Chains A and B, each alone.
Chain A
Amino acid sequence: MEYNKYSLSFKGSGASYFKILLVNIILVTITLGLYYPWARARSLQYFYSNTLFNGQAFVFTGTGSEMFKGFIKAFVLLLGIYGLVTYLVLNEQELVGAALFYIFFLLLLPLAIHGSYRYRFAKTVWSGIRFGYTGDKWELFALFIKGTLLTLVTFGIYGAWFMMNLRRYLLCNVKIGDARFSYKGVGGEYFWLNVKGYFLSIVTLGLYFFWWQKDLYAYFINNLRLTRGDQTMLLRSTATGGDFLVLILLNLLLFIFTLGLATPWIAVRTMRFLFSNMVLDGTIVFDELQQTQPNYDDATGEDIADFLDFGFII
């Protein structure tokens, strides 16, 4: 088997992303928010088309109208929940309202994550080959409920294990064509990594924070791999704590001195930073990837996750 080095790069620019954001804001504002799904599709398409793996750009094939359908469903659902909770709070049923609120979101979140992963990966295409998410809704649901309850009774300590179990489950079910991702991070290591980061940050008056961030990023990247039959691709982070210090402080200064106007530049340089500090190598022959994952058009989960600002990174 042949050993290959792969490249991942981002070639978007702050100026062009800034323009996209401005146009999006204008259209969303004058349509009283209805344009939002199309705006989101445009931002995603921008980020995908400027991300190159082995010189070949990613393609986001999702459309505004697909996401609009999900947007309306998610909006009605969340409006119903907020309406009910508001009604209860106004009628002095604060406790019932709050309890209902948390229970509802506990049940809704795993389903939203599931839907979001299904949609987003089905719409992610590289070199004509679709990604896909093969996880089971109810398995994720069980994992989520168990994790939340154990995290609550252990006063948050189990959170590290919960987080890693969730990440493992989600990432191990992501495929690109006939190649499958896997993640081997575990709760114990992740827990001590955070304990160490937390206490050393306090001892060093916050300076260690950047090295802590470096460790977290490396723990994510280094434990991730892609396999296809007996072929593998490994990922490795080369970012140092010093790199993170420069990145984060500069981003902060940029944000403050431009009153937030530099946000698109910050997003772009962060993407560049993350990609350029990653080494990918292994034996997978990407030209041979086969299409195996089906298309999936329902964006409701994606839209709920977006409404709740849950982000996509785990």
Chain B
Amino acid sequence: MEILNSVQYFDGLQASPQSALLHISEAGFSLQVAPIWNAGAPVLYFPKAECSLQKTDHQLIVFLNKKTGAYFTVDKQDPTATAIIHLLEPVEKSFATSLFKLNAFTLLLIVLLLFSGVYWGIATVVPWAGLKIIKPETETEMGEKMHEAMMGDASIDKRKTALVQSFANSLELSKIYPIKITVVKNQEVNAYAIPGGNIVVYTGILRTMQSSDELAALLGHEAAHITERHSLRSVLRSAATGLMISVIFNDVSGILSILVENAEGLRSMQFSRSMEENADEVGMKVLVKNKINPLAMKQLMQTLKDNAPEMPTVLSFLSTHPATDDRIKHAESFAIPYKNSSFAANPLRDSIWRELK
């Protein structure tokens, strides 16, 4: 390898570049600051181990010595360029270099594929890990605090609370979570579940319902939100999305705010449609287990839907629990296999129901 060529040499002492002759050997670079090579004149020698290479759009920059900062540059098109690259980067080992050979469109496609892959990964792993890590007891503890805060200025109907509580106890709603009922004096047709075990029922919805089976269906549905950990699932899902977004936009502080936002989000929880359907189904299983016709779920939805237009108050139960025709159909088809099962009236629950009315 005997190549002689003219390069721009920066000696790292003064700003003006100098024209120098470059001689490349197996061991390194020799430079002579002169227009023609003179065997007798002094030669600067730089062993290749101390040199490093930077490739820019237009030229190669060869750093000769880290301490002095001396370097030389040659045009990328220059015949010596390949020899220099060969000397300093003998094996084309860089994956980046092969990526640069692709066109922008292909690269964009790869980016999009990678992002959807990462999104899918995060959206699967985060909820999975979250559900494993967060214990039901922790959920109950947090839910208890939320319940306390939410009941701050509500007027609680103690008598009805006790009645609905014993009604719920007779249903065996959950083996893991302690189901605790609170009846609030409020004309709104509303009921909701707080993660960890609390169910809040408004007197408005109690008045609208027509049978003890409908109450069982309502409690079954709300308890299912708790036992299926729907709140936690929603939070984890949106946390995963938030995580992805803040990773893309390279925003560390975003991760902290996700935590804060989701703590807030728990309060105004809206479940996805599939979660509502899941709660209906699990609720109906509770009904079957208690020898109640699962069609009570359908009746509950029908009652709430039929009463909807006449109700002057804000129908929050209906807006957060859209009793769509789809859900009614879904409940209907779930009940078909139980058409011929025997269902027994439960004297205890019936007497509680009469007292409530």
Binding site for B on A (CB under 8 A): 12, 15-16, 18-19, 22-23, 25-27, 29-30, 42, 45-46, 49-50, 56-57, 59, 61, 63, 78, 82, 85-86, 89, 125-130, 177, 261, 286-291, 295, 307-309
Shortest Cβ distance from residue B36 to the other chain A in the assembled complex, whole angstroms: 23
Given contacts A23-B100, A45-B56, A125-B69, contact A78 B252 (CB under 8 A): yes
Cβ-defined partner of B12 (8 Å) among A19, A82, A128: A128
Q: Are A23 and B57 in contact (CB under 8 A)?
A: no
Contacts of A46 in B (CB 8 A): 56-57
| Residues of A contacting B11 in the complex (Cβ-Cβ under 8 angstroms) | 128
A-B contacts, 9 of them at CB < 8 A, read: A27-B96, A45-B54, A126-B15, A127-B16, A127-B17, A128-B12, A129-B15, A287-B15, A289-B14
Measured between alpha carbons, how far is A291 from B16 in the docked complex, in Å?
A: 11
Residues A177 and B259 in contact in the complex (CB < 8 Å), given A45-B56, A130-B69: no
Task: Determine whether the beta carbon of B61 is less than 8 Å from that of A59.
Answer: yes
- Of A23, A78, A85, A286, chain B has the most CB atoms within 10 Å of the CB of A23
A291–B12 touching, CB < 8 Å:
yes
**Which 5 residue pairs spanning A and B have beta carbons closest together?**
A128-B10, A49-B56, A289-B15, A22-B107, A287-B16
Q: Return B254 CB to nearest CB of chain A, in Å.
A: 10
By beta carbon, the residue of chain A nearest B106 is A22
Contacts of B61 in A (CB 8 A): 49, 59
Q: Which residue from A16, A125, A128 sits with its C-beta under 8 Å from B17? A: A128
Whether, in the assembled complex, B13 has its beta carbon less than 8 Å from a beta carbon of chain A, the answer is: yes
> In the complex the two chains form, is B15's CB within 8 Å of A288's CB?
yes
Q: How far is the CB of A48 from chain B (nearest CB, A)?
A: 8
Q: A23 contacts B256, CB within 8 Å? A: no
| Nearest CB on A from B16, distance (A) | 4
**Which residue from chain B places its CB closest to the CB of A130 in the assembled complex?**
B69
B104 at the interface (CB under 8 A from A): yes
Contacts of B340 in A (CB 8 A): none
Question: A27-B99, A45-B56 are contacts. A82–B17 as well, Cβ < 8 Å?
Answer: no
A19-B100, A57-B56, A290-B13 given; A82·B252 CB < 8 A:
yes
Closest to A50 in B: B57
Render B59-72 as a binary contact track against A, CB cut-off 8 A, 1 for contact: 10101001101110
Contact of A309 among B12, B100, B251 (CB under 8 A): B251
Q: Contacts A45-B54, A59-B61, A86-B256: A295 and B66 contacting too (C-beta < 8 A)?
A: yes
B162 within 8 A of A: no
Q: Is the interface of B mostly helix, strand, loop or mixed?
A: mixed
What are the residues of chain B within 8 A of A308 when measuring CB–CB?
252
CB distance from A25 to the nearest CB of B (A): 5
Interface residues, chain B, CB within 8 Å of chain A?
Answer: 10-17, 52, 54, 56-59, 61, 63, 66-67, 69-71, 95-96, 99-100, 104, 107-108, 110-111, 114-115, 118, 250-252, 255-256, 259-260
* Contact A86 B104, beta carbon cutoff 8 Å: no
In angstroms, how far is the closest chain B Cβ from the Cβ of A178?
A: 10
With A22-B107, A29-B118, A78-B252 given, is the CB distance from A16 to B71 under 8 Å?
Answer: no
Contact B57 A82 (CB under 8 A): no
In the complex, what distance in Å separates the CA atom of A50 from the CA atom of B336?
73
Q: Say whether B107 contacts A23, CB under 8 Å.
A: yes
Contact status A16-B114, CB under 8 Å: no
Shortest distance between the CB of A57 and any CB in chain B (Å): 7
Beta-carbon contact of A127 and B104 below 8 Å: no
Determine how close the nearest CB of chain B comes to the CB of A108; give it in whole angstroms.
Answer: 13
| Complex CA–CA separation, A291 to B70 (angstroms) | 10
A residues near B63, Cβ cutoff 8 Å: 61
Residues of A within 8 A of B57 (CB): 12, 16, 46, 49-50
Interface centre among B12, B59, B70, B251, by most A CB within 10 Å? B12
Cα(A261)–Cα(B14), bound, Å: 42
Determine the chain B residues whose CB is within 8 A of the CB of A290 once the complex forms: 13-15
**Alpha-carbon distance A295/B61, docked complex (angstroms):** 18
Closest to B58 in A: A49
> How many angstroms between the C-alpha atoms of A21 and B122 in the bound complex?
23
A298 to chain B, nearest CB (A): 14
Q: Which of A18, A29, A286 contacts B15 (CB 8 A)?
A: A286
- Given A127-B16, A288-B15, A23 and B69 contact (CB-CB distance below 8 Å): no
With contacts A45-B56, A128-B71, A309-B250 taken as known, whether A82 is within 8 angstroms of B15 at the C-beta atoms is no
Q: Are A291 and B110 in contact (CB under 8 A)?
A: no
Q: Is the CB of B107 within 8 A of A26?
A: yes
* Contact (Cβ within 8 A) B10 A127: yes
Q: Measured between alpha carbons, how far is A29 from B250 in the docked complex, in Å?
A: 12
CB neighbours of B59 from chain A (8 A):
49, 57
The reply to whether A177 and B15 form a contact with Cβ atoms under 8 Å apart is: yes
What residue of chain A has the Cβ atom nearest to residue B95's Cβ?
Answer: A27
From A307, which residue of chain B is reached at the shortest CB distance? B252
Across the interface, which residues of B come within 8 angstroms of A50, CB to CB?
Answer: 56-57
In the complex the two chains form, is A59's CB within 8 Å of B71's CB? yes
Complex contacts, B260 vs chain A, CB 8 Å: 89
Please determine whether A128 and B107 come into contact, CB atoms closer than 8 angstroms: no
Chain A residues near B107 (CB-CB < 8 A): 19, 22-23, 26
Taking CB atoms, residues of chain B closer than 8 Å to A78 are 252
A22-B108, A49-B57, A128-B12 are known contacts. Are A295 and B69 too (CB-CB below 8 A)? yes
The residues of B that contact A42 with a CB separation of less than 8 Å are 96
In the assembled complex, how far is the CB of residue A97 from the closest CB belonging to chain B, in whole angstroms? 10
Contacts of B52 in A (CB 8 A): 63
CB nearest to B255 among chain A residues = A82
List, in ascending order, chain B residues with CB within 8 A of A177's CB: 15
| Inter-chain contact A26/B99, CB cutoff 8 Å | yes
- Indicate if the CB atoms of A56 and B100 lie closer than 8 Å: no
Complex Cα spacing A252 to B67, Å: 45
Instruction: Give me 7 other A-B pairs in contact (C-beta within 8 A), A22-B110, A50-B56 excluded.
Output: A12-B57, A19-B104, A30-B114, A82-B256, A86-B259, A290-B14, A295-B69
Complex CA distance for A252 and B56, rounded to whole angstroms = 30
What is the distance, in angstroms, from B356's C-beta to the closest C-beta of chain A? Answer: 38
Q: Which residues of B contact A56 (CB under 8 A)?
A: 17
Write the nearest CB–CB distance from B70 to chain A, whole angstroms: 7
C-alpha spacing A49/B14, complex, angstroms? 20
